[in-house]
Chains A and B, each alone.
Chain A
């Protein structure tokens, strides 16, 4: 048994927000040298628990014992002083400041003078000791997402963290960056730190954690060593029932060509060639999946197709008509609907309520407009139907959609875009950040749409999602499609190699 001073323990923690019980008697035991995963769906209470451990929330009931001492945190500062630090899902960095300045920002003032020289030396030493290589002088905006996360970890270590909490650390990372992160975390644990991360990705838990605590609806449903469980068991524990296996794919006859892209090129935000002569052919009645590692032009492709980004070269045809020069509105009205990757910034208007969001794209057309005026009753009816049909849980239609969970937001977004019976539905990263049940609901809708004869273009960074849903899968690399596989010949290794830039075998 490890000594109590090497442990952080939460015992019977409860926390409610109004009538919503986020944590209901949750206990957690964290040890030095261990990586602990807290697994659960969105809304299971993971983040609340982390916020309690990091001093952001105070629990309604229960005890915290930190390194053998009973504590009550009144602020995150108390937790930092006890050696507990948290990396939030959304990084807390000032982009225009250097890495060093970001680290020093949170340092408890020890007098007025900053000893920059000493600070640089210490930061470098800590980085070297933990295999984190970041130039202290580089401004944060120049760092990649993966490097920013490492900087956040470095910041905690600099502040003397012995227990590191990470909230969904891989949700923003590429698979390679995630692997690297877990190597870093392993090194920290081996060096005697305690590490906790929360996630809803099962395979990460199996790959990276020593011990696992599974939360469901605010309660602990299991706490067990990773070596004594399986993916299947964890999935069952997490959602409460066995997750569906591969969905049966019906043999749909490929229909006519709905979307063609011919030699499309476009510049990215920083002026680089994001799309570089891309060809594409999506047919009616199929889900065409585009898989690739982040940064290979996927968001730019979606924007070019939707008309939100200008193509510098090439042609785009929708059902045989050249739409290359059409406005986004005209493309939308012609049956090209779009579920963007940036759900909160682009796809929905967070401060507006559900009915207002249901008419975001069709507010000029019936039924939302009658005799030139907006019919709020029609928007409300649409919202009621969408909420009922898509199983959206909400605290009132009139509340801002900002208050909905990501899964519920995504269901509404899909409902809005599918409602008009599109010729082509373009969906980007449709299940990113969603829990298993919500992701399954989204997948069901895409399949139903396909079965109804629409073309679906699915752009995803989740290989499992594409393999599970797509009738054909294409790898996107360096702004082009570098290989296409029909479902019958899906080959994980070949696709994986192509995603990494390997030259694929002639596939289809």
Chain B
């Protein structure tokens, strides 16, 4: 358990680091002759300043929260699932498959979509897991490669056989209304509630179940895990399946909630999840906080682009803030882990 002093240190470091990141980003603005105050004000009003702005930030935050939770499941067991992106895309595919091509009675559609999506996400993680356990194939490479396979597979569908004949875009036909996640507002759907519920479930799983304990030991030491009678191969596969299934939720949210059809998902959420998990120290509850922070950054970037700020400048600002935040938190954690008094 984290001590109170460590909490204070980390949150202080985070706030300071973000402030420094904003300062650094402002220097970039100054150097390019962009008005600093107006730009920052535009981020604020676009991402935080109103109920509408906040909702828009959350639309970004929800999929990042799912991929972040997926990453933290794997990372705390020191299993490097970099395939959140592909597992998310396969989740979207699995959901769309049921929504478009499986005739089901109305109330059964959504549960079946979610199960199917999670199954495909888990399947996308299963392959690398088995390769790792059976042949020692590095999961970083295998999961990363499968991302491209998943993205191109869905591209193939929406540009080809699944393309809506009625529309001009590479989209599938719209989902029937029974296949849409219940809306909570104009922009938000139930996924915004599901993410915190899953985060809490994961926190309980990690801390209060033997399985959670075993995966933590696995992350710290394989010899100790073997000595404790754990089956490393089986645990590894289980961790990957869970991670992939949760990443799939990010895709399901986007196709069955935000868009209502299958399309080429905006790239990057899978990788943002990796960052968010590190920012959160692989703690599922903090993943929620960091995903929201990330959503604000993404939505702030959108607001700037609407205000005609150069998109590459926007990326630079986002990057600066993230790098500072990650560096600050890493330093703070190293300090709170060091023995301090009494060596």
A contact set with B: CB distance below 8 Å: 17-20, 22, 306, 308, 327-329, 332, 338, 340, 342, 345-352, 356, 359-361, 363-364, 369, 372-374, 376, 395, 398, 400, 403
Contacts and interface: CB of A to CB of B under 8 A. Distances in A.
Interface in B312-343: 337, 339-343
16 contacts: A17-B342, A19-B342, A22-B343, A327-B229, A328-B229, A329-B229, A349-B217, A349-B224, A352-B220, A360-B224, A361-B228, A363-B214, A374-B210, A376-B208, A395-B342, A400-B337
Contacts of A338: 227
A340 B213 CA distance: 21
A17 B208 CA distance: 36
B50 interface: no
A185 B309 CA distance: 70
- Chain B CB count within 10 A is highest, among A20, A349, A374, for A349
Contacts of A306: 227
Contacts of B337: 351, 400
A201 B32 CA distance: 68
Contacts of A347: 224, 227
B303 to A, nearest CB: 42
A332 B226 CA distance: 12
A374 B210 CA distance: 6
A84 B119 CA distance: 63
Given A329-B229, A363-B213, A374-B209, A345 B221 contact: yes
Contact of A363 (B207, B228, B339, B342): B228
B1 interface: yes
- Chain A CB count within 10 A is highest, among B209, B224, B341, for B224
A131 B250 CA distance: 66
A20 B342 contact: yes
Interface string B1-30: 101000000000000000000000000000
Nearest to A360: B228
Chain B binding surface, main DSSP class: helix
A20 B341 contact: yes
B1 A345 contact: no
Interface string B227-242: 1110000000000000
Contact of A374 (B207, B217, B223, B227): B207
Nearest to B221: A349
Contacts, number: 80
B214 to A, nearest CB: 7
B213 A374 contact: yes
Given A352-B220, A369-B210, 14 more contacts: A17-B342, A18-B341, A20-B341, A20-B343, A308-B227, A346-B223, A346-B224, A346-B227, A348-B224, A359-B213, A360-B227, A376-B207, A395-B341, A403-B342
Interface in B185-221: 207-210, 212-214, 216-217, 220-221
B94 to A, nearest CB: 30
- Chain B CB count within 10 A is highest, among A18, A360, A395, for A360
A455 to B, nearest CB: 20
A294 to B, nearest CB: 19
Contacts of B343: 17, 20, 22
A340 B1 CA distance: 27
B268 to A, nearest CB: 32
Nearest to A340: B227
Contacts of B212: 374
B211 to A, nearest CB: 10
A360 B216 CA distance: 11
Contact of B339 (A346, A348, A352, A403): A403
The 5 closest A-B pairs by CB, nearest first: A18-B341, A329-B229, A346-B223, A20-B342, A17-B343
Given A349-B217, A364-B210, A374-B207, A308 B226 contact: yes
Nearest to B217: A349
B342 A328 contact: no
A20 B208 CA distance: 36
B217 A18 contact: no
B228 A374 contact: no
Contact of A17 (B207, B224, B341): B341
- Chain A CB count within 10 A is highest, among B209, B213, B220, B226, for B213
